[in-house]
Amino acid sequence: MSTSQTNSRRLASLKGICAATGLFLPFLMNAQIDRTLPPVPAPAPIVNIGEHKTFTLPNGLRVIVVENHKLPMVGVQLRFDIPPMSQGNQVGFVEMMGDLLTHGAGNRSKAQIDQDVDRLGAQLSANSEGVYASVLKKHLEALLPIMADVATAPTFPSDELAKAKKRTLSEVQQRKDDPSAIGEAVGRSVTYGRSHPYGEVATERSIAQVNEQQLKAYHAKFFRPEKGYLVFVGDITEKEAKALAKARFGDWKPAQKYTVVDEDGKQTIEGIGEVRFLEKPAIPRGPRRVIIVDRPGAAQSVIRVGFPLNLQPKDVRALSAQVMNTILGGGVFNAQLMQNLREDKGWTYGSHATLDADRFNGHFHTSANVRTAVTDSAIAETIKEIERMRTTRVSPEELDLAKRFMAGSFARSLEDPRTIARFALNTYLNELPKDHYATYLKRLEAVTAEDVQAAAEAFLHPDNAVILVVGDKRKLLHRLEPLSWATNPVVTELDHNGEFFVEQFEPVRDRTAQQVLDAHIAAIGGREAIGRIKDMRMQLSTEMKDMPLEIVQWYGPDGLFRSTVKSNGSVMREEAYDGQRAMRSDSQGVVELEDADLGDLQFNGHPVPEVRYGPNVERMVLAGRTTVDGKPVYKVHIVLATGGSAGDYFEISSGLKLRRVEQRSVDGRAVTIITDYSDYQPAGGVLFPRMITQTGGPAGELVMKVEAIDLNTGLKPAFFATNLPERKVEEYIEPEEENPLEPTPDGVKDE
Amino acid sequence: MKNLICSSVIMLATTAPAQNGAIRYTEFDLENGLHVILHEDRSTPIVCVSVMYHVGSKNEDPTRRGFAHFFEHLLFEGSANIGRGEFSKHVEKAGGVLNANTTADRTYYFEVLPSNQLELGLWLESERMLHAKVDQKGVDTQREVVKEERRQRYENQPYGSILIDVLDRAYTVHPYRWPTIGFMEDLNAASESDYQAFYKGYYVPNNAVLVVAGDIDPTRARELVSRYFKDIPRGADVTQPVVEEPPMHGEKRDIVHDRIQLPAVVLAYRIPPTGSADFYAVDLVNRLLSTGNSSRLSTALKDQQQKAIATGAFSLPFEQGGLAIMYAIANAGVEAGALEQAMLAEVSRIQNEGVPKEEFAKLMAQLEMENVQDRARIAGIASDLARCHMLLGDTRLVNTEIDRYLALTPEDLKRAASTYFTGNRVVLHYLPMSQKQP
């Protein structure tokens, strides 16, 4: 605001000087510049939108011509209007059809097409929606027959299809280690849903299903003149374009009749089978939820916050929505997300928001790559900024900057004559008013702060947002849980294809779970040495939210157990198990622990719980071989007698237990707790981990250091008294059924 | 009103550049040594204002690797007259865009603005050159931002470390041995005196070229340039480091274990300085190997042998001698060794059999097309003008550099391949972590 006032003041004085001298140039030479203020702009230049011409061939092909003779070059595209459809269990065949158009057409092989195009110095590419070319004017006539063959007479040679499948499989495989590719693919999938045409992700399985018939059928069905737009841009006249279009595409007839899709969106296409077109656009719904794709040890987290939108380009609110998005995080450096996450916090190289108006189904998403430690904060700030757009009116300065920037971008885009062609094509495809682009600057100027807020209210849905994080699960899980409003599970883990995560194992056939367990027991000292431990006191130190804690655990004979957690000398929490009953005492008072909590204490109430797996463990399965932080391990899945389950990871080379993963219910929300063990050192001839790191619990990440281990000090049963009031002992309590919907940590279901 | 008449009269005096004609420009030096290039093109009402400084990562202290690029970030923080965060605001409020980039040899800043905002661009760039200012918050924030840039572009990206790994092995003493992005520990060590010395030593008019291109009246632009830049004091003469990098004797071979699924092979060869006669021959070899779907690597490795899913070959055009880098990412199930053999076979084929006439003609046709495409955007022309003046030492090359390619013969390619693509090279195999022997 202040700047524009000063500007107008200076403008007044400049006018005075100019009038007094009557000449512009002498003024410039003599004037002293005032560096303290930005210069006054000259009058704004007029932005001229170039024109396009259009005509239709008798076969229905619409031709668009944009004449611009600045460079001796012509761009040509043949684009088809195709409704998006779900590809089902053969996802990927539509994209592959596009790729293979240039891999054999007419009587040319792929090698011939490549050579013929390159010899002209031209560029020719294709995708599932059309064919695109750039060429020097002098070679246009030579290129067009190749382009016409590619678009109208592709041959889909079977050896090329085999190669393409192999290559695509490699690319899918490569995505496993490409966080941005995962963010893009899984991001689409979780935003639109897995069966939505925009949300489907090609996988190893689906690529294998692709066959020649599908490609041919799809091409025949959707690459047809009356659904096509042939666009010429550049050093060409309408007359030349007409002659070329007629010569190369005039005789082109569609192979079959175009049938209208049924009401329910389903249609059977010969050669493809039953396909489903998008019936209704996906809209934001469901509670705010967090999805994670694990990248152990990742340097950064890729974060995306998004939701689908029913927003079409022809919607009158689309422009104010774009202004809103520019202020929030689109294009400008001065956007709120960029300023907050980068310029204020230094958390990221860049954070952006994308609001995509699409004639079938739009969407919104923010994206940023941030270092692991600030992942949750960056998401929280992102949501805060999205919410702020809804609740707070943008300042006149912000609005002004966004509008002027967008006006400038519009003018800059016209440097490229293809922009005019894009405008024309968009106008047809999106059914825009004829003067949509001619009135763009005027409509932009009219957008108010109220319009922006209304657009935010209509198109930003932070409460329904899907938060995708591609990052180090072990470090992030407990930090992400509070951001999710979902309960079961709180955080959903997906794989690089956007499918439910299933831990991958190499099968192990030369040993059993019991043998792995026995090897572990032998590695830490053997049953005999462990049996000599009658009681044990273990003292640990840790910090919780910068508060130092001292934890002491006593293990008595027959599984008796007691523990205290102290902070600065005062006891904050105490637990005891007297062999029958268990209690917990903390600031909330004293409670008796029952069911799963009791089971937990019974299970863990031994210095080396593994030696008592026999009575406490219902079932033990050797899941197979995998790695923990790059170390080869066996995973043993155990189901406790009390119904809970856990996964133990034993290092193959040393036999030591490196990790335990358990799923627990905390305040009715299913959370995953990961405990890592390291720095094994002996006490009484038995190796104990001296460093225990736990994540996923309500306390966040706990790094616990074992300070002391005292063995066989003669602890008496009375020391483990729970002092709970007497109660009638019930005969038998049926263990609660586990919720069958609740996934166990590694996908192995309870019986 | 008067103002409006003045400028519209001036506008009439212009003509559009002839199609396919040369890029027309005028150039001159200010007294303080600033070189200025003006290029008029009225076809779109936009103007590009840019400054290239002859400083890059090769000018860095070996204990401050990455400083030149970090400093580029800092120079958006403001000036004596522009507060923190205001620099970009001025540009965006005017409807413009801005950015910058840094290489081993130079740092480049630019704004593209509506043409009525020419003076704003000149004011901003002159402020940056005259008295840039950075506060502690700016330093601390940008240091973190650059670290995230490094993580995003080099660390959290499959094969992201290729350039870093190659440079480290291709050079032993030359500052080209470290990457422009630098190292975090060096950036942490940077202090106030580093900023002062760098700014005073390199950000001086006599070490810079200013390009104003687009919808301008050259006469008026010249006056405005003079107004904004003439009083910026000349600095001490800048000497570029001259480091004699001993020739590579033999091969440097290494295995890099990365978080990847598919192996990759990278070959790197030392090549002559950008702008030198043989540079163009080597660059054309790279084009033969990699430009277009009918290129040698694409045809042999991807289509015929199906050993690779991606291939490439490009030149790092360094002032004091860069690298030719060739890479391929293996198709599933293909070993790095087999991939390397296939790449080397393509190099040998050029060395032994040369290049057929027809294929050579294809390279020329591709160059001709690219030369036209490079003129599509005013911002591209501006940076090319700056590059030709500063790194090639002759602005005229903006129009004639292509002749250096067109003058080559198939024999030159064969010779260049034999002279430079030798056993003196870096060979890197990128393997998945899972293949690491414990």
Closest chain B residue by Cα to residue A31: B227
* Average pLDDT across chain A, whole number: 88
What confidence category does residue A664 fall into, taking pLDDT thresholds of 50, 70 and 90? confident
Closest chain A residue by Cα to residue B79: A36
Q: Kindly list the residues from chain B whose CB atom is less than 8 angstroms away from the CB atom of residue A627.
A: 434
Nearest to B267 by CA among B162, B414, B415: B162
Nearest to A694 by CA among A542, A567, A482, A583: A542
Task: Write down the pLDDT at residue A369.
Answer: 97
Task: Write down the pLDDT at residue A395.
Answer: 97
Give yes or no for residue A246 having a pLDDT over 50.
yes
Supply A110's token pair.
Answer: 């792929």
From A282-291, A347-356, A695-704, A739-748, the region with the lowest mean pLDDT: A739-748
Q: Kindly list the residues from chain A whose CB atom is less than 8 angstroms away from the CB atom of residue B376.
A: 71, 73, 415-416
DSSP SS3 for A437:
coil
User: CB-based contact (8 Å) between A415 and chain B?
Assistant: yes
* Residue bearing the bigger pLDDT, A33 or B28: B28
Task: Write down the pLDDT at residue B124.
Answer: 98
- If you average pLDDT over each of A7-21, A608-622, B154-168, which comes out highest? B154-168
- Which among B80, B145, B329 has the least Cβ separation from residue A349? B145
Q: Could you give the CA distance from residue B277 to residue B283 in angstroms, rounded to a whole number?
A: 10
pLDDT in tens, B13-42: 333 344 457 899 999 999 999 999 999 999
Q: Could you give the CA distance from residue B62 to residue B274 in angstroms, rounded to a whole number?
A: 23
What confidence category does residue A9 fall into, taking pLDDT thresholds of 50, 70 and 90? very low
What confidence category does residue A744 fall into, taking pLDDT thresholds of 50, 70 and 90? very low
Closest chain A residue by Cα to residue B257: A630
Burial environment of residue A207 by CB neighbours within 10 A (0 to 12, 13 to 18, 19 or more): buried
CATH 3.30.830.10 domain locations along chain B: 18-229, 251-435
Task: Write down the pLDDT at residue B30.
Answer: 97
Task: Write down the pLDDT at residue A261.
Answer: 65
Indicate the pairing of strand A266-269 with strand A273-277.
antiparallel
Give yes or no for residue A629 having a pLDDT over 50.
yes
Beta strands in A478-598 (DSSP E): 491-494, 536-544, 547-555, 561-567, 570-577, 582-586, 589-593
> What is the average pLDDT across B258-284?
96
Q: Kindly list the residues from chain A whose CB atom is less than 8 angstroms away from the CB atom of residue B143.
A: 346
Give yes or no for residue A21 having a pLDDT over 70.
no
According to DSSP H, which parts of B171-249 are helical? 184-189, 192-202, 218-229
Strand partners, A691: A678, A705
| One-letter identity of residue A408 | G
Burial environment of residue A233 by CB neighbours within 10 A (0 to 12, 13 to 18, 19 or more): buried
Alpha carbon A142 to its chain centroid, in Å, reads: 44
Say if the Cβ atoms of A348 and B259 lie within 8 Å: no
Q: Could you give the CA distance from residue A126 to residue A146 in angstroms, rounded to a whole number?
A: 12
List C-alpha distances in Å: A86 to A93, A205, A215, A269: 11, 16, 15, 13
Strand partners, B316: B323
Length of chain A: 751
Give yes or no for residue A120 having a pLDDT over 90.
yes
Give yes or no for residue B102 having a pLDDT over 50.
yes
Say if the Cβ atoms of B43 and A415 lie within 8 Å: yes
> What is the average pLDDT across B250-275?
96
The structure's pTM equals 0.84
DSSP 8-state code for residue B177: G
Give yes or no for residue A7 having a pLDDT over 60.
no
The domains found in chain A, sorted by start residue, are 1-43 (no CATH), 53-253+269-277 (3.30.830.10), 289-494 (3.30.830.10), 513-720 (2.50.20.10)
Task: Write down the pLDDT at residue A557.
Answer: 85
> What is the average pLDDT across A479-488?
89
pLDDT in tens, A425-451: 999 999 999 999 999 999 999 999 999
Other Cβ atoms closer than 10 A to A721: 13
Q: Could you give the CA distance from residue A179 to residue A293 in angstroms, rounded to a whole number?
A: 9
Cβ within 8 Å of B, A 528-567:
none
Answer yes or no: are the C-beta atoms of B260 and B159 closer than 8 Å.
yes
Supply A181's token pair.
Answer: 């590719």
> What is the average pLDDT across B150-162?
92
Percent of chain A with pLDDT over 90: 68
Q: Could you give the CA distance from residue B259 to residue A300 in angstroms, rounded to a whole number?
A: 14
Other Cβ atoms closer than 10 A to A664: 18
Q: CA of A352 to nearest chain B CA: how many angstroms apart?
A: 14
What confidence category does residue A33 fall into, taking pLDDT thresholds of 50, 70 and 90? confident
Give yes or no for residue B235 having a pLDDT over 90.
yes
> What is the average pLDDT across B219-241?
96
* Residue bearing the bigger pLDDT, A471 or B20: A471
Give yes or no for residue B109 having a pLDDT over 50.
yes
Residues 6+ apart with CB under 8 A from B395: B25, B27, B37, B385, B388, B389
Task: Write down the pLDDT at residue A747.
Answer: 34
From A465-469, A527-531, A642-646, B295-299, the region with the lowest mean pLDDT: A642-646
What confidence category does residue A345 fall into, taking pLDDT thresholds of 50, 70 and 90? very high
* Average pLDDT across chain B, whole number: 93
Task: Write down the pLDDT at residue A18.
Answer: 35
Task: Write down the pLDDT at residue B438.
Answer: 57
Nearest to B227 by CA among A38, A19, A37, A35: A35
Edge-first strand order for the sheet with A273-277 is A85-86, A273-277, A266-269
pLDDT in tens, B387-427: 999 999 999 999 999 999 999 999 999 999 999 999 999 99
Say if the Cβ atoms of B93 and A653 lie within 8 Å: no
> What is the average pLDDT across A692-710?
86
Answer yes or no: are the C-beta atoms of B27 and B221 closer than 8 Å.
no
pLDDT in tens, A357-405: 999 999 999 999 999 999 999 999 999 999 999 999 999 999 999 999 9
Which CATH superfamily hosts domain B18-229? Metalloenzyme, LuxS/M16 peptidase-like (3.30.830.10)
Q: Could you give the CA distance from residue A534 to residue A556 in angstroms, rounded to a whole number?
A: 7
Q: What is the DSSP string of B344-369?
A: HHHHHHHHHH---HHHHHHHHHHHHH
Angle of CA points A85, A88, A93, to nearest 5°: 75
Indicate the pairing of strand B208-214 with strand A108-109.
unpaired
Give yes or no for residue A30 having a pLDDT over 60.
no
Answer yes or no: are the C-beta atoms of A178 and B264 closer than 8 Å.
no
Q: Kindly list the residues from chain A whose CB atom is less than 8 angstroms away from the CB atom of residue B368.
A: 121, 136
Half-sphere exposure of B311 toward its Cβ, with a 13 Å CA cutoff? 30
> What is the average pLDDT across A546-565?
90
User: CB-based contact (8 Å) between A170 and chain B?
Assistant: yes
Give yes or no for residue A742 having a pLDDT over 50.
no
Give yes or no for residue A24 having a pLDDT over 50.
no
Burial environment of residue B79 by CB neighbours within 10 A (0 to 12, 13 to 18, 19 or more): buried
> What is the average pLDDT across A336-352?
95
Q: Kindly list the residues from chain A whose CB atom is less than 8 angstroms away from the CB atom of residue B433.
A: 630
Task: Write down the pLDDT at residue A487.
Answer: 83
Task: Write down the pLDDT at residue B135.
Answer: 84
Cβ within 8 Å of B, A 24-53:
24-25, 28-29, 31, 33, 35-47
Say if the Cβ atoms of A117 and B294 lie within 8 Å: yes
Q: Could you give the CA distance from residue A119 to residue B357 in angstroms, rounded to a whole number?
A: 12
Other Cβ atoms closer than 10 A to B254: 14
Cβ within 8 Å of B, A 356-375:
369-371
> What is the average pLDDT across A581-593?
89
Q: Kindly list the residues from chain B whose CB atom is less than 8 angstroms away from the CB atom of residue A120.
A: 365
- As a whole number of Å, the CA-based R_g of chain B is 23
Task: Write down the pLDDT at residue A746.
Answer: 40
Supply A331's token pair.
Answer: 């294009």
Percent of chain A with pLDDT over 70: 92
> What is the average pLDDT across A553-574?
90
Q: What topology does CATH give the domain B251-435? A: Cytochrome Bc1 Complex; Chain A, domain 1 (3.30.830)
pLDDT in tens, A647-663: 999 999 999 999 999 87
> What is the average pLDDT across B329-336?
95
Interface pTM, i.e. ipTM: 0.91
What confidence category does residue A599 fall into, taking pLDDT thresholds of 50, 70 and 90? confident
Give yes or no for residue A95 having a pLDDT over 60.
yes
Task: Write down the pLDDT at residue A580.
Answer: 86
According to DSSP H, which parts of B190-304 are helical? 192-202, 218-229, 277-290, 296-297
> What is the average pLDDT across A573-599?
87
Give yes or no for residue A736 having a pLDDT over 80.
no
Answer yes or no: are the C-beta atoms of B117 and B82 closer than 8 Å.
no
Percent of chain B with pLDDT over 90: 90
Closest chain A residue by Cα to residue B362: A119
Say if the Cβ atoms of A18 and B228 lie within 8 Å: no
